[in-house]
């Protein structure tokens, strides 16, 4: 995909990866970049810097996504690329008990990390199909391909997001719909800095700008899987080739994260 002259929407655009994507898309010559975020003031600040538009949007609310699509297409023009980037990871619960997160956290995680992608596709597929094509870039996480030690809600919802994107790509390819998923490991964002016990054990931390650079190449090639951390591809291969060995490795990794649990887990 060549971004020159395109209309792009980025959710979660007030900070982190979303901010970097918005800034980079503008630099690449997009005709308009709509920066959407639940933090409306933050979205407006980013939009002002790149001469774009801003919108307040809670991606876990389908009505907000519908209105974001409607207002963009009415006021600016057809959306060429929708970046469903917003996500959350601040879930409660005991990291030593996968059942401990409250139902409200499961519901919110499902709404933001999974259903937001569904809502965006539902709102845009009819128009994109009628126009002969369109592009979805869904920010997920390497946790959607591997998993997340210490947060079942995060790991499960990110796995589901990958599954939906696969179905979107498979089902609608013949109608001109292209899909990419962005699956970074550690990125220097507020979410990582709030990551608690696992944050110090991450395997290579990238800046949001480095992630955005990888996205530009992935969109140019129209690759389904965009991996800013290339080592993730090897981890996925190991997981697929020997699942039991991979589970064993993850158990050992968890023990390194939780050294006080070694005796109980041995």
**pLDDT single digits (tens) 95-107:** 899 999 999 999 9
Set 119, 154, 235, 243: catalytic member = 154
In a domain, 265, yes or no: no
| CA neighbours closer than 13 Å in the CB half-sphere of residue 156 | 15
**pLDDT tens readout for residues 242-265:** 999 999 999 999 998 876 544 343
pLDDT over threshold 80, residue 16:
yes
Helix, strand, coil percentages for the chain (3-state, nearest 5): 55, 15, 30
pLDDT over threshold 80, residue 83:
yes
Q: Are strands 177-182 and 134-139 parallel, antiparallel or unpaired?
A: parallel
**pLDDT score for 266:** 35
CA 197, chain centre distance (Å): 22
In a domain, 249, yes or no: no
In a domain, 116, yes or no: yes
What residue numbers bound the domain in which 226 lies?
Answer: 7-230
In a domain, 253, yes or no: no
**pLDDT score for 186:** 87
In a domain, 240, yes or no: no
In a domain, 254, yes or no: no
DSSP string computed for 117-143:
HHHHHHHHHHHHHHHT-EEEEEE--GG
Q: CA-CA-CA-CA torsion for 230, 168, 150, 214, nearest 10 degrees? A: 30
In a domain, 244, yes or no: no
The continuous run of DSSP H or E covering 48 comes out as: helix 40-50
The reply to whether 154 belongs to the active site is: yes
- The closest of 222, 10, 226, 3 to 116, measured between CA atoms, is 10
Domain CATH code at residue 188:
3.40.50.720
In a domain, 247, yes or no: no
**Looking at the 3D structure of the chain, how many domains does it have?**
1
Would the pTM of this model clear 0.75, i.e. be above it? yes
**pLDDT tens readout for residues 138-158:** 999 999 999 999 999 999 999
């Amino acid at each position: 995909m060549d971004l020159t002259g395109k209309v792009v929407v980025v959710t979660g655009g007030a900070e982190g990866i979303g901010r970097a994507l918005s800034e980079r898309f503008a630099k690449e010559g997009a005709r308009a970049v709509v920066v959407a975020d639940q933090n409306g003031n933050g979205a407006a600040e980013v939009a002002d810097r790149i001469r774009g538009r801003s919108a307040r949007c809670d991606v876990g609310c389908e009505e907000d996504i519908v209105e974001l699509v409607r207002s963009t297409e009415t006021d600016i023009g057809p959306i060429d690329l929708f970046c469903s980037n917003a996500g959350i990871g601040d879930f409660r619960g005991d990291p030593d008990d996968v059942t401990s997160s409250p139902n409200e956290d499961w519901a919110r995680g499902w709404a933001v990390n999974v259903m937001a992608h569904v809502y965006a596709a539902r709102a845009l597929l009819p128009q994109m199909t009628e126009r002969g094509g369109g592009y979805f870039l869904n920010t997920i996480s390497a946790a959607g391909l591997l998993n997340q030690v210490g947060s079942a809600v995060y790991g499960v919802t990110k796995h589901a997001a990958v599954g939906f994107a696969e179905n979107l790509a498979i089902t609608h390819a013949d109608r001109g719909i292209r899909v990419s998923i962005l699956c970074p490991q550690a990125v220097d964002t507020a979410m990582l800095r709030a990551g608690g016990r696992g944050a110090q054990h991450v395997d290579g931390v990238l800046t949001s700008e480095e992630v955005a650079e990888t996205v530009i190449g992935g969109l140019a090639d129209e690759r389904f899987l965009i991996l800013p951390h290339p080592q993730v591809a090897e981890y996925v291969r190991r997981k697929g080739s020997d699942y039991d060995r991979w589970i064993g490795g993850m158990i050992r990794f968890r023990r390194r994260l939780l050294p006080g649990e070694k005796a109980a887990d041995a």
